[in-house]
Structure formats: structure tokens, C-alpha cells
Structure 1
Amino acid sequence: MDVVDLSRFRFASTSIFHFFFVSLTVGLAFLIAVMETFAFLRHERREAYATMTAFFGHLFLINFAVGVVTGIVQEFQFGMNWSEYSRFVGNIFGVPLALEVLMAFFLESTFIGLWWFGKDRLKPWMRLGSIWLVAIGTQVSAFWIVLANAWMHHPVGYAIVDERAVLTDFTAVVLNYKAWLYFAHVQGSAWTVAGFFVLAISAYHLLRGRNVEVFSRSLRIALVFAAVGTVFSATSGHREAQVARVDQPMKFAAMEAQWETSDSPAPWSLVADIDERERENDFSVELP
């Protein structure tokens, strides 16, 4: 294995592992904020909703911490594994990454601390405001990271100066249509993952008859989140693929395991066993 393949393997494995926790915590922060809102508004069921928020709050904190740690490793790999790339586009690529830390991560980490460790000291409305700021921070964080990714697919607002890409139009980068498409899809998938996460845990405890009042309510909340997130993820993902078909046809062909140009509309691959060396599919199930 050469250096490039090793770098690809390391970065891919880190990114995949990291994104498990990103998609979960982005959606779970919003879901827990809704639970906290129910605990604040529904006085007759406050104890049940408070127990629910505390239970899933523990799980959120654990996954958030792992997501932060794996994200730091990924940040270092930009410079260690892809140093030439970082040198070439660092003037642009580094901007959304820096803004993600300054605008989002500090917001999240500060108010997570207030929400969790100040739960016996803050007034209820202050605690509610803290978790909603955490939820907003996760959305802002996701946007800046997605923005950096989208720029690689559709670079805008830059010029090549002294063999480096230099930012010339920050507004064009922020309004990059690819970023908003990707952000919508990430939001839908985050709601889906978080919804099914809470749904599965709630169902597990209900099957064993544990704290039925709490977990029956969390199951209903999660069911709504999972349903909305699934529809939103599917529709935004379809739109994203349709756009890629137009402005990134080679990428779309790779997604569909299509090796040859077709004069007529190419089939859609459901499943394919790819042979990269021979550049063909040993097995595929296609829809015309």
C-alpha cells in the first residue's frame, strides 16, 4: 500500500467513524430540546419529561464527547495526510472550519456545560434556553462543515494567486447552492438517525416494562422525528442526486457504477459487485 492509499484509508475510516456521532448528536440535540420544552410547559407531567430529558441527555453527552475527539483527529489529518491540499486551498477551506469553532463549537460546549452542570442551579427557563442554544449551535456547526465540503464539489468565490486558491467572494461561498442542498440532506438524515436511536431505546425499555410512562412518551416524540426526518432525507437526497447528474455527471456515474457512456438514459444500479481493475461489474441489478 502506497502513501496515498494509506492516507485515503486513514482519512476515510476516521471520517466514517466521526460522522456516526455527528449525525446522531445534531439530531439528538434538537430532539432533547423538544423534550426539555415539554418538561417546561407541561406541569402535570414535568417529572416524566424531566426523567426522559436526563436519561437521553446522558447518551447525548457521551456521543457528543466522542464526536469531538474524532473530529479533532480528522482536523489534524487535513494537515498531516493532505498537506499539499491544505496549502493550496487553506485560504478558503480554513475559513468555514475556523467559523465552525468560533461560532458553533464554543456556543455548544459553553451551554452544554450550563445546561447539564447547572441543572440544579439555573432557573427552568434558563436551562431551557441553554439546551436550545446547544441545538442551534449544532445546526450552525453542521452548516459550516457542510459548506467546506460543498466548496470542494462546486468551488466558487475564489481566484488562483501564486499557485494557491485565494478567497475573493465570501458571500458566493456562503450562498453556494450545493452547500444548502447538502445541509438540507444532513438535517434530514440527522433527524432520522436521532429519531430511530430514541425510538429503539424506548421500545427496548417498553418491551421489558420499565418506566412505561416515560418511554411511551419518548417513543411517540421519536416516532414523529423519525417520520419527518425520513421523508425530508429522501426528498432532499433525491434532489441532490438530480443536481449531481447535471453538474457532476462523472461523480453520478461512479455512484451508479456505470463504466460506459450510454446514448440512451443509463439504467439505475440497485446493487453492483464492482471490479475496479477490469472496470466492469461482475454482478449488478439494474432498473432500466
Structure 2
Amino acid sequence: MDVEILARVQFAFTIAFHYIYPPMSIGLGLLLVIYEGLYLKTGDKKYEKIARFWIKIFALIFGIGVATGIIMEFEFGTNWATYSKYVGDIFGSALAAEGIFAFALESGFLGILIFGWNRVGPKVHFFSALMVFLGSMFSAVWIVVANSWQQTPAGYHIVGEGMNARAEITDFWAMVFNPSSVERLTHVWIGAFLAGAFLVLSVNAWYILKKKHLDIAIKSFKIALVVATLSSLAQLVAGHASADGVAKNQPAKLAALEGHYDTSAKADLYLIGHVNNKTQKVTGIGIPGGLSFLVYGNFTEPIKGLNAFPEADRPKQVNAIFQFYHIMVACGMSMILLTLLGCWFWYRKKLFDKRWLLWIFVWAVLLPQIANQAGWFAAEMGRQPWVVYGLLRTSDALSKSVTANQVMFSLILFLAVYMILFLLFLYLLNKKIQHGPVDYGTKESIDEGSKRDNPILDHQS
């Protein structure tokens, strides 16, 4: 197999696996702040119990996320050396900022969050939860800034020529606030809130169905439902803003997202369909002129199609981009409908009587994960054939000495190691969920609180 394809598959696999965890930790961090804030305000021990339980889950997710993220930095040097040289000044500064301003903040206060019960006061512990949450948010900022710069480069100039060419920062803040960074960051943040909220909804829906830990499950479920509802509605607005940015800055990607080829025609908005790249036709159910309306407010306004771009400068896997994008949208709309339905039955005081709805919430934990993954694939595949849009082609970004056999061998090893990590994560997560929250009101629980709060050493839970 071609070394470029293998290198892309390897990086896609590693980053897709890693991206399971950071969104959950960001979203769960928000809920921890809410739960601890309610405990601080009301003094209700139920909120403390909720916070203690979810801090254990947060620590597990954080640990696996760190372990799976490290490998990607090595891949930049092994498989993508030309890319690393070209964008090192820019990408490196963003990663350095992430480590200094975000990861250090998050990991530093995480120690207090996990081990600080019965050692620091409630206000300090709440402050630690807030700092951990802000650290995870800042971490997303710098990662998204680096990726957004690749989508819409700004604040740079090119030094050198040919193989020695590289991008250097001329305006740091122009690089940070490049044309797509703010809208993409908002989109990512809200997707993370949904990942955390739906995890909490899933676990608590299961507790309610099994009639376990009802004293905290109902409270925790209601708060997570509010966060999920507001976030899913906000994502509709953020997603539209992100699509507007794509229309302005990456018109070839926009055309691929909807399988639009004819540059002089209005663009339809498809609900479901299949793109035939050879015939340049889409078969499916769509709204005539719908995309034109969303972009221009006019159903008949033409939108630049794929045929307006040289074949070498436009995405090739149009149907795959189309499908990933529509999967993301379908998951987003499903989350809106599900959360609004939950709120409606809550308003009518029938929410926890609807066992069928609670079972849907149990499995709905997959929706934000699928949406986040599908959206990332659509964004990255839609940028092709560029690794830095309009500046550096993916085929030119490869390491010149790496071979297909070397990439294949490391890919197989990564598959094996990541599968072990994933099975370990599921085992530990299930073990903690099955054990459930601990009643910390007894003297014994206070004496052993440190051990029970340790997600690594806590073999009893």
C-alpha cells in the first residue's frame, strides 16, 4: 500500500482514538464545577456524593487521554517530518502554549481535586474543580488554534524555498485568531459539553432503570439534561456559524460536504444521500436550494461547485466527506430531539416513568462521540489535498525516508496497544459504574477517603 495512505490511516486512527477522551473530560469538568458549586451553595451532601463519584470517572478519562495523546507528537517526526519542518514554528508555539498554560494548570489542580477531600476546604476544592475545567478548556484552545491555522493560515510568512521552505509567525495574535479559529473552537467546546453530559445521562439513566442510587441519580440526571439541552441547541447555532466560515474560507470543502459540482447552479441541502463522483450526481432526499439559502438567504443563489477548482486542488473522496458530514448533522439533530423530549416529559412529571426513553438515554452516550468523530473526519478529509490549506500538499508533507513497511508495522502495533487500552478503559469504567457512588458520611469512609478517591489505587471500587 502507498506510504502516504498508510501514514494518513495511522494518524487518523491514533487521533480518532485519542479524541474519544478529551471531549468527555471537558464536558465532565463542566458538570463537576456545577455539582461542586451546588454543594458549596446548599451544603447538600448529595451533591458532594455526586461530585466524588464523577471525579473518579474524570481521573480515569484524563489518564487514558494523556496516554493516547503522546504518541501523536512522535508521529509528526517519524511520518511527517517535512510537515513538521514547514509548520514547526507555528504548530510548536501552539503546542508549547498548551503545555504551559493549559496542561500544567489542569494536571496541577487535578491532584487537589482527587486527593484533596478532607484535606482542603470546600471552597478550595471547588476552586480546584474550576481550574481543572478551565485548564481542559484552554488545552482545547491551543489544539484548535493549531489545527485551524492549517485550515485558514494567517499571521505568517514563508522563509526559504523548495525543501527548505517553512512558515514563520509574523503576528502571533493573527495566527491565534485566524479566520476559522473562534467558530471552530466554539463548535469543539460545545461538542465536548455534549460528550460529558450524555455520559452522565447514560450512567444515571441506567441507575434509575435498575433502581440503584436513586438519591443522587435523579438529581444528577436532571442537571445533566439541562446542560445537554442547552448545549445541543447552542450547537445548532455554532454549527451554522462554522459552516458559514467554511463557505467563506474553504469553498471546495463546502461543495464536497453537499456533493455540489455545478459552479453556476444553486446548491441543494441533502438530508440523506449518496454521491457518485464519476457522474457528479447526488441521489437522495434534499431541500432544493437549501444550502444556497443557508449561505446567502436565497434559494436560487449559485454556490461555487467542485468543478470550479482544478481537479488536483479539490477533495477526491467526496462521498465519504458527504457521509461523515451528514452523520454528524444527524447525530446533532437527534440530540436536540432527545433532550427536548426529555425536558417535555420532565415538565409533565413523567420523565422517570418512561423506561423506553431512559433506555434511549443509556445508549445515547454514543451520539456525541459519533458526531465528534464524523465531524473531524469531514473537516480533515474536506481540506485535502492540502495539509496546510493552499500552501503545503499532504503528499509533500511526508517524511522522505520512511517506508510503507515501517508505517504498516507501527500501525499494527498501535492497533494492538490501543485495543488493550480501550478494553482496560471499558473494564475500569464499568467497574466504577457498577460499584456506584460511596456514602462518605461514615467515620470509616472518612478515614479511608484518600484511598477511595484514588482512581488508580482504588481496587475495591
Q: How does 1:58-73 map to 2 (within 5 A)?
A: 58-73=56-71
SS in 2 for 1:266: coil
Alpha-carbon separation, structure 2, partners of 1:270 and 1:3: 36
Task: Give the number of the structure whose residues are more often helix, by fraction.
Answer: 1
Q: How far off is 1:273 after superposition?
A: 3.4
Is contact 1:188–1:229 with CA below 8 Å preserved after alignment?
yes
1:104 paired with 2:102, answer yes
Q: Which of 212, 215, 223 is matched with 2:214 structurally?
A: 212
SS of residue matched to 1:107? helix
Contact 1:33 1:135 in 2 (8 A): yes
Letter in 1 for 2:222: R
Q: State the Cα deviation string for residues 78-136 of structure 1 (Å, max 9, x = none).
A: 22221111111111111111100111101111110111112221122111111110011
Does the 8 A contact of 1:187 with 1:233 survive in 2? no
Q: Residue type matched to 1:268 in 2?
A: L
Q: 1:38 to 1:109 in 2, by over 3 A?
A: same
Confirm or deny: 8 A CA contact 1:114 1:127 kept in the other structure: yes
Given that 2:145 and 2:177 are in contact with CA atoms closer than 8 Å, whether structure 1 keeps it comes out as no
Report the Cα distance in structure 2 between the residues aligned to 1:113 and 1:50, rounded to whole angstroms: 17
Percent identity (aligned): 35
Displacement, 1:283?
4.2
Structure 2 SS opposite 1:160: strand
Runs of 5+ consecutive residues of structure 2 not aligned to the other structure: 289-461
User: Does the alignment pair 1:36 with 2:56?
Assistant: no
Give the aligned partner of residue 132 of structure 2. Answer: 134
Pair 1:270-2:271 in alignment: yes
Q: Distance in 2 between matches of 1:264 and 1:15?
A: 37
Q: Tell me by how many angstroms 1:159 deviates.
A: 0.6
Match of 1:244 in 2: 246
The answer (yes or no) to whether the contact 1:257–1:269 under 8 Å persists in 2 is: no
Distance across 2 between alignment mates of 1:186 and 1:282: 29
Deviation at 1:282, TM superposition (A): 7.4
Is 1:24 aligned to 2:24, yes or no? yes
> Separation in 2 of the partners of 1:154 and 1:206?
47
Residue 185 of structure 1 deviates from its aligned partner by: 0.7
How far apart are residue 20 of structure 1 and its match?
1.6
Task: Give the length in aligned residue pairs.
Answer: 284
Matched-pair contact (CA < 8 Å) for 1:257–1:272:
no
Distance apart, 1:262 and its partner CA:
3.5
2:34 counterpart SS class:
helix
SS in 2 for 1:210: coil
Whichever residue aligns with residue 267 of structure 1, its letter is D
TM-score relative to the length of structure 2: 0.59
Give, as a single letter, the amino acid of the residue that structure 2 aligns with 1:150.
Answer: S
Q: Which residue of 1 aligns with 2:53?
A: 55
Amino acid at match of 1:176: N
Equivalences for residues 109-120 of structure 1 within 5 A: 109-120=107-118
Equivalent-residue separation in structure 2 for 1:81 and 1:135 (angstroms):
33
Question: Could you tell me whether the CA contact under 8 Å between 1:115 and 1:131 is conserved in 2?
Answer: yes
Amino acid at match of 1:232: A
Q: Distance in 1 between matches of 2:71 and 2:257?
A: 27
Of 164, 167, 192, the match for 1:190: 192
Contact 1:198–1:219 under 8 Å retained in 2: yes
Contact preservation (8 Å) 1:112, 1:134: yes
Rounded to whole Å, the distance in 2 between the matches of 1:20 and 1:130 is 24
TM superposition shift of 1:222: 0.1
Residue type of the alignment partner of 1:216: I
How far apart are 1:147 and its partner, in Å? 0.4
Residue equivalent to 2:182? 180
Q: Label 1:279 to 1:139 Cα distance change in 2 as closer, same or farther (>3 A).
A: farther
- RMSD (Å) for aligned C-alpha atoms: 1.5
Structure 1 partner of 2:284: 284
